[in-house]
Structure 1
């Protein structure tokens, strides 16, 4: 008895406590009902994904910047440098054809015209006094041509409205010096047509055709899309510099251009557009993003390009 007690290193109370504190786990119970329908749901999803990959398609778009062009607006510039003498209109004012808009100082033109008119009157008196004087007749003919040219130069110092309409922009003020070729004033006529000019990547030129839809998202109207019909596609693929010349000096620098491009035009059916019940006007130079759908391809072919020949042609 004493030997048995000496071989145990733990007390009886500790052993009984340790044996009584063990909790045995229960058997894992799995319901066969939910495992069964989950299995078939997964099988159905896999089959549906396979069919969608085989039959479904992904469209490919030719995307690029676009600009709104308002046709029927006349942009007036000056041919010679000068100082603005008077501004006779204001933005938004209605004008008639031929109405003066902006006048420039024309001292040199006026003095030249006055000198030619005096010489013309003297030669005219000589011809009337001696109708047989051929030199006087030739001098009179030459002075008549010089007078008409001087009158045209003087009239050119006054910009007049080329058509009836509304003054849309006015970029000068009295006393301002204007360089040759600078835009001074623009007049929007009564008949205005809005055109969208899209600049799409040149590589898509063979796939672009008139009559196809063109999806447009105007800058400032995110996720508000409009769809127009392509009216014309450029015959040439051009570079950024040529595109800037086409858009004009005022608009060409507003668009970031890179790489070869093709010019695509779409006619806008109205001069206004409606977003969420509100009507807005189109303005010349508005920027947008244009997308033209060029083809569709099966999803499976997109994932595995090697199957392109086996699954048929693309649209």
Structure 2
């Protein structure tokens, strides 16, 4: 009897325990379900309260979409919220100062100055034709002696060049000699006329004295009127020559010309008197100073360059015509304009801009009109006044943030959002041209 009682009590206890477990399970949710509900509850307020500007693919941040989903690259798109690095009405982008420091952003102050404008162009050394002298025959004569027998012979001033036998000279010398001791006024007038005739025939005072000492058959010696080089020799000893015939050409070497080929953009900035420095390829370590004498009025049809004539002093005669030279020109200084380092410029296919640093993590993209560049700097013809701070390192990352926040949309035409689908077309506004990841 006791055994039956114990069995019944044990069965009742088991039933009670089963009932307790059943009802406890109905009133307490599983842990996984509780966590999921909690997570959904915590995310719901954020989704409901934060304003989403658009959706984008983190690999292609320049593409904007109006709905979530997969991007054309097959990536899950993420939302861009209005309170993330937002841009205010002035196009200012705010970035956390710690992030700016981590990016290694460097800035430079916009200075106003005149860029170095030295230009180097090729040139060729030529004769200074203003120092050229032609030795010619004044009368019919015979070259009895030639003191200079080869072209490019260097001569000094007054050095004998040639001796000529001329009948006209001989008769004129004899007439003048016969009137040397005349006393009457008429005879002295004839003597002055005879001397004038000798001078018209090309005889100098020295030639006249030499002819008087040598007699009527003496040869007349031609002397070098200046120091230089005999560049052409057109006669030979014993040759008969006629009045007006060229005997030789003498060029001075105290100065030379340098003809420099200037591109048309450079030629426009050149003026007469512009200082230059010339270095010759064959004279290493030496330089020569000079000035632009004139710009020749013809343009080379093959190279589209304009020649500048430059005068260079050549006291020791080391510069020889035909030498190749390098000409450094220093055009006249223009007015000071704002300049920025070349690294500060962000150039796209349609415009150029810089990123201004306005302090406290505030940046702004500004369109500029760039001019010429020299020495690592570029002129800014429009867009900056000087004194601003521009970003020269890390500006592409800031530019990317400006694109995502819409700051650059104020510089370009407003972009339309594309539908979120695999066939969606990307936003083609200029603010996505740089393609930098956020």
TM-score by length of 1: 0.46
> Hey, which of these two has a bigger chunk of helix by percent?
1
Larger relative contact order (CA 8 Å, sep ≥ 6): 1
